[in-house]
Chains A and B, each alone.
Chain A
Amino acid sequence: MSYIKKPKIYGDKFTKNKLGMTFTDYEGAMSTLCAGCGHDSITGAIIQTVFDLDIPPHRMIKMSGIGCSSKTPAYFANQSHGFNSVHGRMPAVATGANAANRELFCIGVSGDGDTLSIGMGQFSHAVRRNVNMLYVIENNGVYGLTKGQFSASADVGSTAKKGAANKHVPIDPCQIAITLGATFVARSFSGDKDQLIPLLKAGLMHKGFAVVDVISPCVTFNDHEGSTKSYMSTRESKREAVYTDYIPPFKEIEISYEEGSTIEVDLHDGGKVILRKSDDSYSPQSRGDSIKNIRSATERGELLTGLLYIDESQHDFTDTENLIDAPLNSVDHQILCPGKKSLKNLLDSYR
């Protein structure tokens, strides 16, 4: 954290997006996280994502639970809507927000504790309902706010700051999400924005639940030699399985790829996701392949990154539930609340 506020500086030199907004316009309050926290870097990547996608701030909602990670929505897009919910209960609130207004771009930011411990049940059900949101897990393997105890994502053998090793098997949110029927599963690293930003863009534009597990080193409690989630060890163990790029609607693909080496997936917004596999042994469009690939990488001591699984064919929660297209705040009150008589009719219909 810093004592002075980050000054807001304007001028012709700074790039503007289609809405005429600068990068600074998408920023939020000053972060009070530790200096060097991976979460701040993810915040930077999210700002870049929404800036590049020209998202009007009033069309976006930021959700979070409790934890270091869950402070971060305060640090971006301070003109957007937001909800800082109870610990681990963000998916329920996000589901409600989705049901009430399916036109909002929904970004949920959670941590390994908020998602994989206290919020595991909520997370699972948001996945299986395919709630249309980008769900970012800022995964550092420790409970930073309570001084660095191991979290549910800590690897076996990874040591705490004072040297004690973790004995319990970690939960891998990506594998869990794939088995639960997630339609967009990716993994990245806070220190690799070149990889992370396209994934966040694709995830946000994906219609359905997009989980991005971002390894985000805790610079205070988990950035030492015995840690498997330090900056150094993450850089050493990560291997990009699928290079991903997001191409917005009406934009030509600028980079030319070798024929047959890439897969194009059309998104519902008209944009495209370009996938380039680093090896041909598996398809990111097959659940079985994906899980097998992640597991074998883990056995080799590697951290598989990139877009690990995508399925654009599924309906999202609002479609499945056949909810109305219009946001509820634009629906006439008479329709939303048709009165006692209608209630009686409804109840009578069940008699």
Chain B
Amino acid sequence: MQPTDTKNPDYYHKVVDCQWGCPAHTDVPGYIRHIAQGEYTQAYLLNRESNVFPGILGRVCDRPCEPACRRVRVDEEPVAICRLKRVAGDLKGDYKAYLPSAPSQKNGKKIAIIGAGCASLTVANDLLPLGYEMDVFESLPEMGGLIRSNIPKFRLPPEVIDEEFDAIVEQGISLHLNHRIESMTNLLAEYYDAVLVGTGAPKGRELDLPGRYDTEQIHIGIAWLESVAFGHIDEVGEKVLIIGGGNTAMDCCRTALRVGGRDVKVIYRGERHAMKSSDWELEPALEENVDLVLCHSPEEYIVEDGKLVGMRFSVMEYSVDDDGKKQSKKVDEVIIPCDTVILAIGQENSFPWIERDLGIDFDQWEVPVVDPVTYESTRQGIFFAGDAAFGPKNIIEAVEQGHQAAISIHKHCNNESLTDRLPHGMNLVTAKMGIHEWSYSNDFGYDQRHEVPTVPMEKRFKNIHIEVELGYESGQFKKEVERCLNCDIQTDFVASLCIECDACIDICPVNCLTITENDEESAIRKKIKTPAENYDQDIFVSKDLPQTGRVMVKDEDICIHCGLCAERCPTAAWDMKKFTLKVPYASNEAFDATKKNKQAV
């Protein structure tokens, strides 16, 4: 194998599994260490740099970081990364003074932002310090988009949204609430240097079965959640069926329980493993006594005299045949009585207000054609971000798309190539503080994940405003932060210093190191004492060692970053180094451009 190129930021970035898994590349170990040291404001700011809305995401993020967490490779549960983010949000001090302020003298460029959700406000957040003027149009009376209308208040209190959104708006954007853009043509007639479409995926999918339009008691999930959120609906029938198996279904069933539902069932046509809902969204629902009914495929709404009385389902059985193909078989038919049905079977973006003759192309599914790197549509200067761009994903994805769209908008306004973007950079600084002393807590201990305390069951359902999760108490999160394995403190190896004494190999508690003759990757992976069988994770191969010409090999998969290899190394060939990923944002691009211009002069 060729020696590993650790100068490529991607190599060490990939070792930080949470950060690699996070679409916005949040420096998770970094902020967890801030929390451990009681630096909550710094923890918040570090979060905010990449994910902009730590308070919101600390409650409702889809947390792709947690399944990726290194901890699960040596222990049962991942670090409660998401809920530690909330700790930063809950305990932060006054952070606004640390935010870059918008210059009083504007740069003369004006941007229209349609929709005031997370993607849109991320764009505003990134472009404000650069002196852009921005008009933000929102059809609803409040900002937030999906997180305001579709995420129930008992999971995400409105004050949290207000605070984080206001922090951006306060810096000086023109916000137009209750202002629905009805025509892109009309908008373009006004002078804007660029337009960002961040209107989300507001259209719930329909389930058109017999009886659908014979009653008023069938609702589309996301529209119904929005009506509840804005107080248009405050009651529901007693027997409620939620059709669907995603996170919206979970929000619907738990909301139903809080507006009068007594017997609430979530009905899904497939098996449990096929459900799209996250475990951490399903579990609270089950805890609140929602029935989960699997393998029931809806067939008909049963309506008597305009009143919904039940729903007919085919009971399905699934199997895999000899060729590995999935087979389904109807084995029974049942009628489940109900008085309300809520459909939560998906949502899509919808652009009736964009005229099709503007040069903005749509594909066969009426989804706009958007460049996955620049987020530009087929018409120059018009950008899409968030669910509006590629359909419903999640909040953290929307934030990252916002960051990228902001870079593109800045480049567009400065006549730069949209594709000529700054690469990721990195910084690597030793974590050594003295002999056996590191700037991080390097000891490992088995410790179970600490559960976030919640409001007792009997108090939860009084009204929809009672936030169920209380957030960590200090004793709990102080233990939880210690579960983080500090993956950003990297094992950095300098081949020329190694005397091949094997000290690192002998001390490694997971036996992930070896010194061996160089060979093909598959052969080297087998030579490590704990064979490196997880090909998703890289192995490090050093340059040839000075004394024997063999190579040092490390499997990144199960390393717990305890630093014992570096402590035992007599020549400091191994060192533990703090890795900081440098993610370029619009402001970095702007700074870089000034530098380029100066060089040109």
A14 x B501 contact (CB < 8 A): no
Partner of A36, one of B74, B547, B548, B568: B568
Q: A15-B529, A24-B509 are in contact. Are A40 and B499 (CB under 8 A)?
A: no
Q: A36-B570, A193-B502, A219-B570 are in contact. Are A11 and B507 (CB under 8 A)?
A: no
A41 x B506 contact (CB < 8 A): yes
Which of the listed residues A2, A9, A232 has the most CB atoms from chain B within 10 Å of its own CB? A9
Instruction: Compute the total of residue contacts between A and B using a CB distance below 8 Å.
Output: 96
A36 x B445 contact (CB < 8 A): no
Report the separation of the CA atoms of residues A14 and B555 in the bound assembly, to the nearest whole angstrom. Answer: 13
B548 x A235 contact (CB < 8 A): yes
Cβ of A255 within 8 Å of any chain B Cβ, yes or no, is no
Cβ of A3 within 8 Å of any chain B Cβ, yes or no, is yes
Report the contact-size class of chain A (Cβ under 8 Å from the partner). 20 to 34
Partner of A231, one of B499, B511, B560, B562: B499
Partner of A40, one of B503, B510, B531, B533: B503
Give, as a whole number of angstroms, the nearest-CB distance from A318 to chain B. Answer: 34
B499 x A2 contact (CB < 8 A): no
Within 8 A of A (CB), among B491-538: 499-503, 505-507, 509-511, 529-531, 533
Report the separation of the CA atoms of residues A55 and B500 in the bound assembly, to the nearest whole angstrom. Answer: 29
B506 x A44 contact (CB < 8 A): yes
B570 x A9 contact (CB < 8 A): no
Cβ of A341 within 8 Å of any chain B Cβ, yes or no, is no
Cβ of B285 within 8 Å of any chain A Cβ, yes or no, is no
Q: A14-B530, A41-B502, A44-B505 are in contact. Are A35 and B510 (CB under 8 A)?
A: no
Cβ of A108 within 8 Å of any chain B Cβ, yes or no, is no
B506 x A40 contact (CB < 8 A): yes
What residues of chain A lie closer than 8 Å to B569, measured between beta carbons?
35-36
Partner of B503, one of A36, A223, A235: A36
Cβ of B564 within 8 Å of any chain A Cβ, yes or no, is yes
Cβ of A203 within 8 Å of any chain B Cβ, yes or no, is no
Report the separation of the CA atoms of residues A277 and B501 in the bound assembly, to the nearest whole angstrom. Answer: 27
Q: A14-B511, A232-B547 are in contact. Are A23 and B501 (CB under 8 A)?
A: no
Q: A9-B444, A13-B530, A23-B529 are in contact. Are A35 and B570 (CB under 8 A)?
A: yes
B507 x A231 contact (CB < 8 A): no
Partner of A7, one of B445, B568, B571: B445
A40 x B507 contact (CB < 8 A): yes
Give, as a whole number of angstroms, the nearest-CB distance from B135 to chain A. Answer: 55
Within 8 A of B (CB), among A1-37: 1-9, 11, 13-15, 23-24, 31, 34-37
B530 x A15 contact (CB < 8 A): yes
Cβ of B234 within 8 Å of any chain A Cβ, yes or no, is no
What residues of chain B lie closer than 8 Å to A101, measured between beta carbons?
none
Give, as a whole number of angstroms, the nearest-CB distance from B540 to chain A. Answer: 18
Cβ of B558 within 8 Å of any chain A Cβ, yes or no, is yes
Cβ of A173 within 8 Å of any chain B Cβ, yes or no, is no
Give, as a whole number of angstroms, the nearest-CB distance from A72 to chain B. Answer: 11
What residues of chain B lie closer than 8 Å to A190, measured between beta carbons?
501-502
Cβ of A290 within 8 Å of any chain B Cβ, yes or no, is no
Cβ of B463 within 8 Å of any chain A Cβ, yes or no, is no
B443 x A191 contact (CB < 8 A): no
Give, as a whole number of angstroms, the nearest-CB distance from B434 to chain A. Answer: 10
Cβ of A217 within 8 Å of any chain B Cβ, yes or no, is yes
What residues of chain B lie closer than 8 Å to A217, measured between beta carbons?
501
B502 x A35 contact (CB < 8 A): no
Instruction: Digitize A237-264: 1 where CB-to-B-CB distance is under 8 Å, 0 elsewhere.
Output: 0000000000000000000000000000
Give, as a whole number of angstroms, the nearest-CB distance from B72 to chain A. Answer: 10
Partner of B506, one of A1, A8, A14, A43: A43
Report the separation of the CA atoms of residues A57 and B325 in the bound assembly, to the nearest whole angstrom. Answer: 50
Cβ of A38 within 8 Å of any chain B Cβ, yes or no, is yes
Cβ of B595 within 8 Å of any chain A Cβ, yes or no, is no
Q: A35-B569, A232-B547 are in contact. Are A9 and B506 (CB under 8 A)?
A: no
A7 x B560 contact (CB < 8 A): yes
Report the separation of the CA atoms of residues A4 and B531 in the bound assembly, to the nearest whole angstrom. Answer: 26
A2 x B567 contact (CB < 8 A): yes
Report the separation of the CA atoms of residues A35 and B445 in the bound assembly, to the nearest whole angstrom. Answer: 23
Cβ of B329 within 8 Å of any chain A Cβ, yes or no, is no
A8 x B547 contact (CB < 8 A): no
What residues of chain A lie closer than 8 Å to B564, measured between beta carbons?
2, 4, 6
Report the separation of the CA atoms of residues A348 and B530 in the bound assembly, to the nearest whole angstrom. Answer: 65
Partner of B436, one of A3, A9, A38, A193: A3
A231 x B500 contact (CB < 8 A): yes
B507 x A2 contact (CB < 8 A): yes
What residues of chain A lie closer than 8 Å to B445, measured between beta carbons?
7
Closest-by-CB residue of B relative to A6 is: B509
Report the separation of the CA atoms of residues A231 and B74 in the bound assembly, to the nearest whole angstrom. Answer: 35
Q: A2-B564, A13-B558, A35-B569 are in contact. Are A7 and B443 (CB under 8 A)?
A: yes
What residues of chain A lie closer than 8 Å to B562, measured between beta carbons?
4, 7
Give, as a whole number of angstroms, the nearest-CB distance from A44 to chain B. Answer: 4
Report the separation of the CA atoms of residues A135 and B564 in the bound assembly, to the nearest whole angstrom. Answer: 30
Within 8 A of A (CB), among B420-447: 436-437, 442-445
Report the separation of the CA atoms of residues A193 and B505 in the bound assembly, to the nearest whole angstrom. Answer: 11
B570 x A2 contact (CB < 8 A): no
What residues of chain A lie closer than 8 Å to B511, measured between beta carbons?
14, 23
A36 x B436 contact (CB < 8 A): no
What residues of chain B lie closer than 8 Å to A37, measured between beta carbons?
501, 503
Report the separation of the CA atoms of residues A223 and B560 in the bound assembly, to the nearest whole angstrom. Answer: 31
What residues of chain B lie closer than 8 Å to A231, measured between beta carbons?
499-501, 547
Report the separation of the CA atoms of residues A11 and B548 in the bound assembly, to the nearest whole angstrom. Answer: 33
Report the separation of the CA atoms of residues A40 and B529 in the bound assembly, to the nearest whole angstrom. Answer: 17
Report the separation of the CA atoms of residues A24 and B530 in the bound assembly, to the nearest whole angstrom. Answer: 11
Closest-by-CB residue of A relative to B572 is: A35
B499 x A232 contact (CB < 8 A): yes
B558 x A191 contact (CB < 8 A): no
Give, as a whole number of angstroms, the nearest-CB distance from A121 to chain B. Answer: 33
Partner of B507, one of A6, A8, A9, A193: A6
Within 8 A of A (CB), among B548-598: 548, 558, 560, 562, 564, 567-571
Instruction: Digitize A36-63: 1 where CB-to-B-CB distance is under 8 Å, 0 elsewhere.
Output: 1110110110000000000000000000
Report the separation of the CA atoms of residues A250 and B262 in the bound assembly, to the nearest whole angstrom. Answer: 69
Give, as a whole number of angstroms, the nearest-CB distance from B198 to chain A. Answer: 44
Closest-by-CB residue of B relative to A38 is: B501
Which of the listed residues A14, A35, A44, A223 has the most CB atoms from chain B within 10 Å of its own CB? A35
What residues of chain B lie closer than 8 Å to A23, measured between beta carbons?
511, 529
What residues of chain A lie closer than 8 Å to B568, measured between beta carbons?
2, 35-36, 40
Q: A23-B529, A44-B502 are in contact. Are A2 and B509 (CB under 8 A)?
A: no
Between A and B, 30 residue pairs with Cβ closer than 8 Å are: A2-B436, A3-B437, A4-B436, A4-B442, A4-B443, A4-B562, A6-B564, A7-B509, A7-B562, A8-B509, A9-B444, A9-B510, A14-B510, A15-B531, A23-B529, A34-B570, A35-B568, A38-B501, A40-B507, A40-B568, A41-B501, A44-B502, A190-B502, A191-B500, A193-B502, A219-B570, A223-B499, A223-B570, A231-B499, A231-B547
Q: Which 6 residue pairs are nearest across A and B when measured between Cβ atoms?
A: A36-B570, A44-B506, A7-B444, A3-B436, A41-B502, A2-B567
Given known contacts A2-B507, A9-B560, A232-B499, what 20 new A-B pairs fall within 8 Å (CB)?
A2-B436, A2-B564, A6-B507, A6-B509, A6-B564, A7-B444, A7-B562, A8-B509, A11-B73, A13-B73, A14-B511, A24-B509, A31-B507, A34-B570, A35-B568, A36-B503, A40-B502, A219-B501, A223-B570, A231-B500
